[in-house]
Structure 1
Amino acid sequence: MKSLLLALQFFTIIPVHKNLPMENRQISGMYSLFPWIGAGIGAISCLGLYFEWSNLMTGFSIVFLGILLSGGLHMDGFIDTSDAFFSYKDRLKRLEILDDPRVGAFGVMAVVLLVIGKVIIVSEVLAAESFHWIFILLIPFFSRATLTMLFGLTRSAKESGLAHFFKQKMNVNMVLFATLFNFFVGLFLIGWFTDWLIAITFAAVLLVFICLFRHWIMKNFGGVTGDLLGASVEVSEVVLWLTLLLLLS
């Protein structure tokens, strides 16, 4: 329960006004439960389906609720990551830019393209005849599971910050095992409710994404940070929605 409350406190806008312990057990549990926080956000986002809106408006509501309920945390990481990467500076300078609270031009352009592109892709998926609501619930689930897998498999880029603190406290083996279990549960639900081909494709896409994104962050940043993990959530969601669009069209 303390791990769940920690996850809600750090990764959602749900107010948890309580001083909670942040030791090995709680931090490991928090990341093990993190994909289910994404599923909860997806479940609330499904409410947009009950209004008689156009597909475009429904797509916007799904994207908007996802950003709102997470407090814009992952979107902020995507913005900072875009600023750092497109600065074309060396590794140390990029890490400094990640820590800079100011938003640069590259971050603004990247986030505008991300949000517009995501709304359009989700809207197109909603228009498909074989669309199922389970996708709205499970894509945020998979994106958070991707984050925990990357976090467990990748060293910290710097010896400071919240991500480094959590990594020091986390039981990596426990989190990786729980994440693999979460992946299998999500893929089973996709196959059970929709089509096993979609589940298998999602598994392949996620595996390739984790490998490529990890290689990219190691090459350009030398390790993982909280901002890079946040960016992984946003980018993996777009990749999964785009994959779904190609499968359903």
Structure 2
Amino acid sequence: MKPYWNGFLLNVQFFSAVPVRRELPVDAVHLRAALRMFPLFGLTKGIIYGAFFLLLIEWSPLSPLGSAFLFWLLPILWTGGLHLDGWIDTSDAFFSYRDRSRRLEILKDPRVGAFGVLSLIVLLAARFLFIYEIFLFGNSQVVYFIILIPFYSQMITGLLLNGVAPAKQEGIAYFFQQGKDSRLAAGYGFWTIVIAVLFFVWTKSLLSLLLLAFLAYLFFLFARRGALKHFGGITGDLLGASLEGAEGCLWMILWLLVSIGMA
């Protein structure tokens, strides 16, 4: 079990702002374990999000607007803006409408362009809208759906890492792909089934669960196609953008489900 524990800590170290004050092995065995632990890492993040949501909606004296703002800050604080940086760089590169090689150069450029700024504003504003209205019209039962959002988005990241060739022979995507696993999709499928059973037992809402899972899978196909078509493969920035995009889309679906009374 030690490689899996170290793999989980590698995920915390590379994909969150939580400090891990120890030297971790980064050989192929531990990187493979890290990829296999992506669902548990996403589930852990989801439970933290869910607990904070429950605290705010049940016991906070703040208004829905104030509670939504505090919750909106949580993912930013959790990652330290790491994935948002990938979203900005990917937006600048994609909307440059250049060829692949030039887009990859833009990804490495530390400067922020207008498209990156605009896309960040749209992403964060849309997410705040979704969260605010969920606080306004939702209830404590929504917590189960909130837990699923990081769970699915983290698995999307893992599938992209494992199944899409790197666009360049350097960076975090290339680094993690040293642990590629031919059985990863089957392992993620097992995680999905277990969580689906538990979710159904707790909520009796199978249709909403299937809808979230189906749209998460569609987003994976969309992100995979976009990475290959426009960049020739996956990079760390594209992974960050995919995770932010997946969470944004799933927040939108949850907002719609709350709006029509299905969650």
Same-fold status (TM-score > 0.5):
yes
| Superimposed CA distance per residue, residues 147-188 of structure 1 (whole angstroms, 9 cap, x where no aligned partner) | 111221211111122211211x21322433332223333333
Counting only pairs closer than 5 Å after superposition, residues 1-249 of structure 1 correspond to structure 2 as 1-45=5-49, 46-48=51-53, 49=56, 50-129=59-138, 131-167=141-177, 169-194=178-203, 195-248=205-258, 249=260
How many residue pairs match? The answer is 248
Cα 1:232–1:186, aligned 2, differ >3 Å: closer, same or farther? Answer: farther
More divergent stretch after superposition (15-24 vs 121-130)? 121-130
CA contact (8 A) 2:164 2:234 kept: yes
Partner of 1:40: helix, strand, or coil? helix
Cα 1:220–1:146, aligned 2, differ >3 Å: closer, same or farther? Answer: same
Give the unaligned 5+ runs of structure 1: none
What letter is aligned with 2:101? L
Give the unaligned 5+ runs of structure 2: none
What letter is aligned with 1:142? Y
What letter is aligned with 1:37? F
Please give the TM-score of this superposition, normalised by the length of structure 1.
0.92
Instruction: Calculate percent identity across the aligned residue pairs.
Output: 39
Deviation of 1:129 (Å): 4.4
User: Counterparts of 1:163 and 1:129 in 2: how far apart (Å)?
Assistant: 37
Partner of 1:127: helix, strand, or coil? helix
> What root-mean-square deviation, in Å, do the aligned CA atoms of Structure 1 and Structure 2 show?
1.8
More divergent stretch after superposition (173-182 vs 237-246)? 173-182
In the TM superposition, structure 1's runs of 4+ consecutive aligned residues that sit over 4 Å from their partners are: none
